[in-house]
A and B are shown apart, each in its own frame.
Chain A
């Protein structure tokens, strides 16, 4: 079983629709959850982070976390063609060393999203 699982897609939605991306994780000790967006050939860019159960909204993006079910999702409302990218789910367990907090990310394989006009 992979540590972080995502549907690889591709997920295709029409412009203006809601895109729903899902992710499950296996480590119950995971403390933080992230969604990164990666355009082809570019670096991953953080778009949402969530740390507690429930919903977190930021503009057109809503992240949802259910620790009991070990499930995290990302909703993109009013999808635009510019949202077409690979969306990476990542989780982390925090550590503390050298007077600094840190957390190594464990990624899923990513879901390719295509928003067509």
Chain B
């Protein structure tokens, strides 16, 4: 069974540009989460999807961030326009809706650097 994958692994962009991060959850996992870790801080929750529906966006920093989950499969997180403070590691995690749903499996992360 393939794990959670994220693309790209690294991204370096200039302030004001747009970046789109992609997450492919484990096949069949209805729950998909985005988290972010900025330098020196703890990993923080951004948002949660159940299938294609956003259930909790309470962690999204501002309206420059837009997340989608097409057809309940992969998800994208777009930052537009990017600011310096958006730099960090963006993690995606997924979990099943069945037994063991408490366990979230994390992807390798996308390291974003905004210059």
Instruction: List residues of chain A with CB under 8 Å of any chain B CB.
Output: 2, 4, 32, 36, 42-46, 49, 51, 88, 92, 94-95, 97-110
**Chain A to chain B contacts (Cβ below 8 Å), 18 pairs:** A32-B102, A36-B106, A43-B107, A43-B109, A46-B103, A49-B102, A49-B103, A97-B53, A98-B50, A100-B101, A102-B50, A102-B55, A102-B95, A105-B33, A105-B43, A107-B35, A107-B44, A109-B41
Contact among B31, B59, B97, B106 with A44 in the assembled complex (CB-CB below 8 Å): B106
A89 to B54, CA, bound (A): 26
Asked if B104 and A105 sit within 8 Å, CB to CB, the answer is yes
- A residues less than 8 Å from B24 (CB atoms): none
A90 to B55, CA, bound (A): 20
Asked if B48 and A104 sit within 8 Å, CB to CB, the answer is yes
- A residues less than 8 Å from B48 (CB atoms): 102, 104
Contact among A49, A97, A106, A107 with B55 in the assembled complex (CB-CB below 8 Å): A97
Chain B contact-residue range equals 20 to 34
Asked if A42 and B44 sit within 8 Å, CB to CB, the answer is no
Asked if A109 and B42 sit within 8 Å, CB to CB, the answer is yes
A4 to B44, CA, bound (A): 11
Closest Cβ of chain A: how far from B97's Cβ, in Å?
4
B89-104 residues at the A interface, CB under 8 angstroms: 91, 93, 95, 97, 101-104
A32 to B104, CA, bound (A): 12
- B residues less than 8 Å from A88 (CB atoms): 43
A99 to B64, CA, bound (A): 30
Asked if B107 and A98 sit within 8 Å, CB to CB, the answer is no
Asked if B97 and A101 sit within 8 Å, CB to CB, the answer is yes
Known: A46-B104, A95-B56, A109-B42. 11 other contacts (CB 8 A): A42-B108, A43-B4, A45-B106, A98-B51, A98-B55, A100-B101, A101-B101, A102-B31, A105-B35, A106-B45, A107-B42
B30 contacts the other chain (CB 8 A): yes
